[in-house]
DNA sequence: AAAATATACGAAACCGTTTTCCTGATTTCT
DNA sequence: AGAAATCAGGAAAACGGTTTCGTATATTTT
């Protein structure tokens, strides 16, 4: 309720002195600073954030913009986690995180509005596709921004993504070390960059991997697996590019009366909650999504602090979560 | 980049006139309004949100405060959905949603800071427990606020919650209509209000329900179910108070070689993604969580608009999602 | 002792809108 | 026709801090 003016009067100093004392300027003596802070506390003075925002010409806030369609966003159980990570990293330095959602078609208009209205000091964009138009808009913008997800080649953007290639390598190495040589990869279509990157990783460790592709759905996982089981030389281990495929795969294996672990191993990526609840619990190569959010927030912070900063990117390091779906071949 | 000053100069009118034209005041002629807007658009003028916030003495934003511990929040797959709903309802009227998290012990300090610093116009609180201290602080506060979840008796708060009692009724009625009379309820402890409310609903339809309680974990669900199966008169249908119990229950049933659907029916609440992926897919009584977020946002909006508003509450209406785990008894 | 420097604080500009109140012109009413 | 009411727009205050720059005093240097 009290304003800086009243505090200044009470303390018998100038307004500017109170401001400096509250913000800790070295031009105010320690004694004076302490005294002013004590008086401010006694009067219940809290700086008015609206006035600070205006005076500082900075909101101390960032927008987390999601541009997935609603269902896709809700089905991604990591969404809240990554946002929370970003929130935490930003809040730690006094930045608020504003959540905003828009349709793909509105994304440029939305970004432009955030820029022009100056309602935030930074922007985190979580979009599965960064169009050329958006990339251009961002590169010309004055607002610091980070893209979560890997941009197209040639787009000069700060971004953060999972190291999917490394994930693939880790999965393949795990199988290799268990003794598997006859491995099949069940992936999405060739246009699915995440799936493809994982495949590259797998192939770098196990070059002779059989590859099958389909839509990333449970049904397709089931169908592809069934097809795979009809092959003359049945694989000893399966790598599923994502959880949907893995779930379909698991179902098909059960229907074929195959025992995961004794007969065949299965490994997948992204630790969706249901990976733990499956029977058997699925071994996965996943990443610490909360940490990824933290890194995104930190990277944005440094972009805000040093706008002249070089383009940077950051890939999170995946970890193997061993559960009950992988074992040595018998 | 352009300011209102420059637009005013260009249009040859006063600053206040531009302001009114942009905000649509009836004291400016339509012709003039159109003209000014055209000039503003040509000059690329967008009102500076920071200055607006300051001048209006309102941020046009609300804070969504979560005070669950991190893991609990991440395991709740509905968290993002409800926040998105609130975001949507608020954004629709130009309000931004700020995400903030705090530990339970910091909740009062956090709320106080949001109030004192005036960094938001409204507050949505998602906490599983509203302490007396918090309730008091809120009731004395000047910031409009909504609690998501049911407050304790005697706390005068605006709140939004699922109608858990009705959920219980719907579940029981569904079983009753299928022909079940011999039903057991597997619930959390008596301190678990959600579980208890659901139980009240169940009992109102099926008064002779057998009741067993335990921790809301998978292991306990398993243990309780095993215990239940040893009873002389095995129930025909089970109601599990939450998904963890249901999952444990399902596992126990499988281990007992009982066939869900043919031998026994199972119904639970809250449509967690894995309810759909279970085998058989679980019939649940759930709510539209996104809609719940929308309602929370709308209720907050009206609290902001009319601060003198009466205490209001809103319970969402659950719906039965029939899947493959409930059938008539044989 | 005079000059240069450092220290601690104050005065005032500034941030860019909104909003209130006022005024002159036009219209309506009696 | 004169008074009252309405209309369209302008002038200026207000919002509450931050920050720059200036200055008096104290300290150090020469």
Residue from A47, A72, A74 whose CB has the most chain B CBs within 10 Å, to mutate? A74
* Contact: B84, A70; criterion CB under 8 Å: yes
What SS3 state is found at B99? strand
Q: B108 with B174, same domain? A: no
Q: How much is the mean pLDDT over chain B?
A: 93
What SS3 state is found at B314? strand
What is the arithmetic mean of pLDDT over B184-189?
97
CATH number of the domain within which B27 lies = 1.10.260.40
CA angle B36, B39, B40 (to 5 degrees): 85
- The pLDDT of residue B244: 86
Q: B113 with B80, same domain? A: yes
B102 within 8 A of B65, measured Cβ to Cβ? yes
Which residues does chain A have within 8 Å of residue B64's beta carbon, measured at their own beta carbons?
99
DSSP B264: B
| Edge-to-edge strand ranges of the sheet holding B183-187 | B210-213, B183-187, B237-240, B265-269, B283-286, B319-321
DSSP states along A122-176: EEEEE-S---HHHHHHHHH-SS-EEEESPPPTT----EEEE-HHHHHHHHHHHHH
SS3 content of chain A, % helix, strand, coil (to 5): 45, 15, 35
Q: B186 with B270, same domain? A: yes
- Is B227 within the bounds of a domain? yes
CATH number of the domain within which B272 lies = 3.40.50.2300
- The answer to whether B135 contacts chain A (CB < 8 Å) is no
- Nearest C-alpha of chain A: how many angstroms from B116? 6
Number of domains in chain B: 3
User: Which residue among A47, A117, A118 sits closest to B117, beta carbon to beta carbon?
Assistant: A47
User: Which residue among A50, A79, A118 sits closest to B54, beta carbon to beta carbon?
Assistant: A50
Q: Phi-psi category of B206—alpha, beta or left, where left has phi over 0 and alpha has psi -120 to 50? A: beta
Which residues does chain A have within 8 Å of residue B49's beta carbon, measured at their own beta carbons?
59, 117-119
Q: Does position B326 have pLDDT exceeding 80, yes or no?
A: yes
What is the arithmetic mean of pLDDT over A55-64?
98
- Is A322 within the bounds of a domain? no
Q: B27 with B105, same domain? A: no
For residue B34, give the H/E element and its range.
helix B30-42
Determine the Cα–Cα distance for residues A53 and A320; give it in Å rounded to an integer.
44
**pTM summary value:** 0.93
Residue B137, domain extent: 61-162+290-318
What is the arithmetic mean of pLDDT over A237-251?
93
Q: A79 with A132, same domain? A: yes
Q: B210 with B251, same domain? A: yes
Candidates A303, A7, A261; CA nearest to A157 is A303
Q: Does position A279 have pLDDT exceeding 90, yes or no?
A: no
- Is A327 within the bounds of a domain? no
CB burial class (10 A; 0-12, 13-18, 19+) of residue A192? middle
- The answer to whether B46 contacts chain A (CB < 8 Å) is yes
Q: B129 with B171, same domain? A: no
- The pLDDT of residue B166: 98
Backbone angles phi, psi at A212, to 5 degrees: -130, 145
Q: B212 with B262, same domain? A: yes
Q: Does position B275 have pLDDT exceeding 80, yes or no?
A: no
Q: B14 with B42, same domain? A: yes
Quick: pLDDT tens for B27-74: 999 999 999 999 999 999 999 999 999 999 999 999 999 998 777 778
What is the arithmetic mean of pLDDT over A32-57?
97
* Proportion of chain B above pLDDT 90, given as a percent: 82
A328 within 8 A of A178, measured Cβ to Cβ? yes
A25 within 8 A of A40, measured Cβ to Cβ? no
Q: B99 with B235, same domain? A: no
* Proportion of chain A above pLDDT 90, given as a percent: 81
Determine the Cα–Cα distance for residues B101 and B184; give it in Å rounded to an integer.
38
Quick: pLDDT tens for B213-254: 999 988 899 999 999 999 999 999 999 999 889 989 998 998
Q: A170 with A231, same domain? A: yes
* Contact: B96, A73; criterion CB under 8 Å: no
Task: For chain A, list the strands marked E by DSSP.
Answer: 61-66, 96-101, 122-126, 145-148, 159-162, 183-187, 210-213, 237-240, 265-269, 283-286, 313-316, 319-321
For chain A, how long is the longest CA-to-CA vector?
91
For residue B265, give the H/E element and its range.
strand B265-269
Q: A38 with A83, same domain? A: no
């Amino acid at each position: 309720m009290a304003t800086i003016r009243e505090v200044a009067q009470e303390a018998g100093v100038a307004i500017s002195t109170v401001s400096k004392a509250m913000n800790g300027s070295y031009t105010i003596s320690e004694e004076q600073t302490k005294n002013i802070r004590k008086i401010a506390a006694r009067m219940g003075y809290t700086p008015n954030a609206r006035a600070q925002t205006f005076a500082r010409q900075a909101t101390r806030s960032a927008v987390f913009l999601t541009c997935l369609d609603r269902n896709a966003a809700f089905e991604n159980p990591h969404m809240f986690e990554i946002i929370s990570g970003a929130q935490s990293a930003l809040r730690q330095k006094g930045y608020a995180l504003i959540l905003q959602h828009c349709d793909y078609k509105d994304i440029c208009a939305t970004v432009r509005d955030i820029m022009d209205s100056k309602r935030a000091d930074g922007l985190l964009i979580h979009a599965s596709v960064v169009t050329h138009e958006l990339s251009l808009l961002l590169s010309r913008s004055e607002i610091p921004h980070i893209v979560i997800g890997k941009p197209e080649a040639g787009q000069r953007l700060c971004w953060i993504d999972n190291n999917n290639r490394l994930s693939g390598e880790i999965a393949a190495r795990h199988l290799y070390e268990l003794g598997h040589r006859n491995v099949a990869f069940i992936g999405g279509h060739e246009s699915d960059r995440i799936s493809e990157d994982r495949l590259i990783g797998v192939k770098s460790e196990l070059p002779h991997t059989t590859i099958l592709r389909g839509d990333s759905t449970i049904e397709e996982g089931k169908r592809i697996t069934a097809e795979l089981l009809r092959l003359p030389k049945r694989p000893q281990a399966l790598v599923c590019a994502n959880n949907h495929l893995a779930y379909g795969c698991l179902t098909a294996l059960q229907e074929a009366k195959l025992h995961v672990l004794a007969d065949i191993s299965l490994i997948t990526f992204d630790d969706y909650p249901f990976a733990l609840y499956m029977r058997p619990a699925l071994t996965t190569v996943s990443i610490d999504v909360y940490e990824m959010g933290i890194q995104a927030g930190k990277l944005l912070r440094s972009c805000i602090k040093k706008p002249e900063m070089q383009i940077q990117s950051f890939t999170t390091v995946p970890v193997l979560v061993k559960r009950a779906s992988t074992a040595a071949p018998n």
